[in-house]
């Protein structure tokens, strides 16, 4: 038998998925499905859009209107889908490379417009699909196949970046902290306006190996130890020293793009 969640929201004939053993992406995909279930969305009215990457394979497994686009462009395609048919709940799945390297511009502009898209960034700090090159979120000093002597770039904090560009909802959690992750995704789906959840993932195959981070479990343990909840960090800053902060970075209400557009249409009718 299958998990009812899987039966309801996945294309069972496409499973098991192709991701490596212990790849965090599966955990995120399952959290998204559960969040969609909790949100009570009509499958026919959900559209999942991705670019290209390991993460971007997710839509192929999920039983909605799914759109696997070109590398980096998911948000641009999604903007067209959403504006053309605001009835659709549009969820964008994108890797850290997809979203913040080649797709960085679409991210900041979608955020700026506050268009009602929900973006889930599968951030494994590496280009998984192409075999382990450093990405814009690879930590300084870490290795990638194109950073054999250690990365000299500074990494983006994608959640901060989205928030800085105008996202009205931006949150971060890890595949270890899967309860929170699911909660934020649910909140993001419910949010009207541009929302992004950075799901910190693990890529044992490339990131793990290149950087001697051990097994998938070792990497999950590292997430457990390295991230601290924003509320705790605020209350007990000493607990947050040297750690990454997760939580809801922004959550505010501002006019949403497709609604504003509909108002223009209404005004012209009147």
Which residues of this chain interact with ligand TPP, rule CB under 6 A? 52-55, 71, 95-98, 122, 124, 126-130, 135
Task: Choose between 85 and 179: whose C-beta lies nearer to ligand SF4.
Answer: 179
> What residue 190 binds from ligand SF4, other proteins, Mg ion, none (CB within 5 to 8 A, per partner kind)?
none
* Cα separations in angstroms, 49 against 88, 94, 266: 12, 8, 29
CB of 256 to a second copy, least distance (A): 10
Q: Does 204 engage in binding with Mg ion (CB under 5 A)? A: no
Which residues within the stretch 152-171 sit at the binding site for a second copy (CB under 8 A)? 152-156, 160-161, 163-166
Token pair for residue 188? 């993001």
Site residue total, other proteins (CB under 8 A)? 89
- Does 71 contact other proteins by CB under 8 A? yes
CB of 216 to other proteins, least distance (A): 5
Exactly one of 2, 3, 85, 105 binds a second copy (CB under 8 A); which one? Answer: 105
Given the rule CB under 6 A, which residues bind ligand SF4?
Answer: 19-20, 23, 25, 54, 124, 128, 203-206
Rule CB under 5 A: say whether 95 interacts with Mg ion. yes
Q: Whole-number minimum distance, CB 198 to ligand TPP, in Å?
A: 12
Window 229 to 268, contacts with other proteins (CB under 8 A) = 261, 264-265, 268
Neighbours of 56 (CB within 10 A): 27
Nearest CA to 92 among 47, 127, 52, 125?
47
Q: Which residue has the tokens 């000093």?
A: 141
In the complex, minimum distance from the CB of residue 86 to other proteins, in angstroms, rounded to a whole number: 9
Q: Could you tell me the smallest distance in angstroms from the CB atom of residue 86 to a second copy?
A: 13
Chain contacts with a second copy (rule: CB under 8 A): 101-102, 104-105, 108-109, 112-114, 136, 149-150, 152-156, 160-161, 163-166, 254-255, 257, 260-261, 264, 267-268
């Amino acid at each position: 038998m299958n998990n009812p969640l899987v039966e309801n929201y996945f294309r069972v004939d496409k499973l098991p998925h192709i991701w490596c053993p212990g790849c965090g992406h599966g955990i995120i995909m399952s959290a998204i499905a559960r969040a969609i279930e909790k949100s009570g969305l009509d499958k026919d009215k959900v559209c999942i859009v991705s670019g290209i990457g390991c993460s971007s394979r997710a839509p192929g497994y999920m039983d909605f209107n799914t759109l696997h686009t070109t590398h980096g462009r998911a948000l641009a395609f999604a903007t067209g889908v959403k504006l053309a048919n605001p009835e659709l709940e549009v969820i964008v799945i994108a890797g850290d490379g997809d979203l913040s390297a080649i797709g960085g511009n679409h991210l900041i502009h979608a955020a700026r417009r506050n268009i009602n898209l929900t973006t889930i960034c599968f951030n494994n700090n590496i280009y998984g699909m192409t075999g382990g090159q450093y990405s814009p979120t690879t930590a300084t000093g870490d290795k990638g196949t194109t950073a054999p002597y250690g990365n000299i770039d500074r990494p983006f904090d994608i959640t901060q970046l989205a928030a800085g560009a105008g996202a009205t909802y931006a949150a971060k959690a890890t595949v270890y902290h899967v309860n929170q992750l699911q909660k934020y995704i649910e909140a993001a789906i419910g949010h009207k306006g541009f929302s992004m959840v950075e799901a910190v993932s693990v890529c044992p195959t490339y990131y793990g190996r290149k950087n001697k981070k051990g097994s998938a479990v070792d990497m999950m343990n590292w997430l457990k130890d390295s991230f601290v909840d924003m509320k705790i960090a605020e209350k007990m800053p000493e607990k947050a020293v040297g750690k990454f902060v997760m939580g809801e970075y922004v959550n505010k209400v501002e006019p949403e793009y497709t609604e504003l557009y509909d108002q223009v249409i209404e005004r012209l009718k009147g």
